[in-house]
């Protein structure tokens, strides 16, 4: 029985690495995957991991019908034995419904990988739809750590080094070289709630008013 599986977690929890490993294991057994992605850091039509591995993928455009894409592909006599959808948080809810239809009507396993919540700790619509529809949700527990050492469960966005909780849901980060540079950082819930990033914590530790009082 084919399944729709949602592998989810924070940024840096190893999702793309696992996606690449599933792809590698299956192609080693002679299976052919259809790999979808959207806004990967390595650029359009790529699925990459922070460890430096990369493979070609189909870039999902706005409004693309993923079910129709697979039907077209198969009806041209080309193979697809399973489907990987990376950066699934960026897919529309309708596209998640199409992936469920791929499982049910085309009898293919679909492995979706995505970040569960955004920088405001709200579910991405694509991730929400996956939680609603998936046969299985696997929460990845790779050791993504907050600066304090606790397990990181939340994604923070920073602008010019300061954590923000307002703004568009999707802004691809690591835009360098400007004062309003956007970055992302994983935090534990406590420090996400207090808006305390590694840089903020460091600055607070160095501030004169919190230096230990010396009695001379
Ligand atoms: Zn923390």
Q: Of 44, 87, 94, 132, which one is the catalytic site residue?
A: 87
User: Measured in angstroms, how far is the CA atom of residue 197 from the centroid of ligand 1?
Assistant: 8
Mean pLDDT of the region 177-191: 83
Is 86 part of any known ligand binding site? yes
**pTM of model > 0.75:** yes
Has domain 143-206 been given CATH number 1.20.120? no
SS3 90: helix
Is 88 part of any known ligand binding site? yes
Q: Using the CB atoms, write b or e for 99-112: b if 16+ within 10 Å.
A: bbbbbeeeebbbbb
Is 9 part of any known ligand binding site? yes
User: Measured in angstroms, how far is the CA atom of residue 171 from the centroid of ligand 1?
Assistant: 23
Mean pLDDT of the region 150-162: 89
What pLDDT, on the 0 to 100 scale, is given for residue 52? 80
SS3 141: coil
Least confident of 91-95, 120-124, 172-176, 181-185: 172-176
The long-range contacts involving 166-173, CB below 8 angstroms and separated by at least 24 positions, are 166/120, 167/119, 169/118, 169/120, 169/122, 169/124, 170/39, 170/90, 170/118, 172/39, 172/41
**Chain length of the chain:** 216
DSSP H or E segment with residue 22: helix 15-28
Q: Is 87 a catalytic residue?
A: yes
Is 196 part of any known ligand binding site? no
DSSP H or E segment with residue 191: helix 189-193
Could you give the percent of the chain with pLDDT greater than 70? 92
Is 16 part of any known ligand binding site? yes
What does the alpha-carbon distance between residue 170 and residue 42 come to, in Å, rounded to a whole number? 17
User: Measured in angstroms, how far is the CA atom of residue 188 from the centroid of ligand 1?
Assistant: 4
H-assigned helices in 52-188: 66-75, 93-106, 125-133
Q: What is the pLDDT of residues 35-80, one digit of tens each?
A: 999 988 888 888 888 778 888 999 999 999 999 999 999 999 999 9
- CATH code of 1-142, in short, is 3.40.50.300
What pLDDT, on the 0 to 100 scale, is given for residue 74? 97
Mean pLDDT across the chain: 89
User: Measured in angstroms, how far is the CA atom of residue 52 from the centroid of ligand 1?
Assistant: 27
pLDDT category at 216 given cuts 50, 70, 90 is very low
Mean pLDDT of the region 172-182: 65
What pLDDT, on the 0 to 100 scale, is given for residue 177? 57
> If you search the block for the tokens 């920088």, which residue do you land on?
119
pLDDT of residue 147 exceeding 50, the answer is yes
User: Measured in angstroms, how far is the CA atom of residue 160 from the centroid of ligand 1?
Assistant: 20
Could you give the percent of the chain with pLDDT greater than 90? 62
Tokens of 90: 């960026």
Boundaries of every domain in the chain: 1-142, 143-206
């Amino acid at each position: 029985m084919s399944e729709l599986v949602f592998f989810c977690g924070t940024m840096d929890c190893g999702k793309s690495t696992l996606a690449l490993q599933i792809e590698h294991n299956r192609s080693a057994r002679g299976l052919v995957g259809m790999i979808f992605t959207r806004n990967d850091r390595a650029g359009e039509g790529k699925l990459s991991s922070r460890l430096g591995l990369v493979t070609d993928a189909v870039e999902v455009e706005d409004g693309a019908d993923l079910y129709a894409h697979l039907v077209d592909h198969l009806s041209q006599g080309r193979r697809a034995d399973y489907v990987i959808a990376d950066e699934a948080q960026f897919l529309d809810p309708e596209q998640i419904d199409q992936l469920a239809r791929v499982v049910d009507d085309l009898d293919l396993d679909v492995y979706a990988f995505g970040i569960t919540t955004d920088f405001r700790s709200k579910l991405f619509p694509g991730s929400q739809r996956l939680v609603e529809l998936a046969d299985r949700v696997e929460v990845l527990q790779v050791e993504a750590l907050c600066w304090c050492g606790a397990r990181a469960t939340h994604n923070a966005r920073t602008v010019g080094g300061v954590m923000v909780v307002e703004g568009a849901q999707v802004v691809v980060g690591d835009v360098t070289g400007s004062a309003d540079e956007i970055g992302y950082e994983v935090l534990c819930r406590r420090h996400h709630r207090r808006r305390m990033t590694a840089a903020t914590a460091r600055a607070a530790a160095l501030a004169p008013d919190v230096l230990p009082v010396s009695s001379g």
